[in-house]
Structure 1
Amino acid sequence: MSDEPSELTHTTPEGDAQMVDVGAKPDSARRAVARGTIRLRDSTVDAIREDDIEKGDVLTTARLGAIGAVKHTWETIPLCHGIPITNVETDFAIDDDRVTLTVAVETTGKTGCEMEALQGVTTGLNIVWDMTKAAEKDRDGQYPDTEIEGVRVVAKEKREL
């Protein structure tokens, strides 16, 4: 991590929020990978593995939701550019007490796709939570064992065309 402060590009000289002008930048091939985890009860993870959740196929639904979120990121993050998504890959890893989702996004354009990858991960994990919440609630309707954690960009690539 650089110790040098970076120039603020999302504000005007007066301090008002603005979208960054990327019009003069050359197109490049870009790829970003994000990952996050949802902790669940062991019994809930077993039910996901066995496709035994009342609402349906958790991982297929989460995969479709993650891809849709990637494609619509610009609509939910105010200063994010709408970019042409050329590929989205989703991968689930299932352990005893958690599901980890990795989302890789590719684009060719003037700006990166980190926010799209992060949006895919957070939406996908929120869908897992939504689809399993009946199994995760305790007697008081709370979620003492359910937690989304570790959401981060794990890789970012940029190459000239």
Structure 2
Amino acid sequence: MFYRKSCEENDDVFNAVDGAIDELLEVGYREEADLLTDAMPDIENERGKRPDPEPLLNLLQPIKSAGLEYFQSGNKNSHSYDLCTSFSKELAYVRRALLEDREYIGTRNAFNRLLAAYEQLSQYMYERFHQLGGVPYNYHGHDSRN
């Protein structure tokens, strides 16, 4: 880490190592020169080109402003509202990461957080509201109350 930092901050260190590599190649020490070349840090001041975030932003609509709503259950043992709000916040966080054009790691972490919130919500809904056959716990066979 110290070597990389000194190469990035000071061109003299980078030039000295580069000169040593050239001399090793001239003398015929190809393997040693390759080892030093591999050890040199890649110094790029330019950031790689990013893909356009618009298709993802169009797909990941914010929950409240898209007209989607979640309702608090009257059941005191229900955690669906908390999980829905958590999912909504993580979705907003992903959208913000895309809009701010964050680095790869920050964007990946935002998507991982969204995926974890979705998995929690999905697992809770599946365990809580489905039996074998996929009907709710309180389903009594009434198709319509009309």
Query: Taking structure 2 as the reference length, what is the TM-score of the superposition?
Result: 0.31
Question: Which structure has the larger Rg over C-alpha atoms?
Answer: 2
- The structure carrying a bigger helix percent of its residues is 2
Query: Taking structure 1 as the reference length, what is the TM-score of the superposition?
Result: 0.29
Query: Larger RCO: Structure 1 or Structure 2 (Cα < 8 Å, ≥ 6 residues apart)?
Result: 1
- The structure carrying a bigger strand percent of its residues is 1
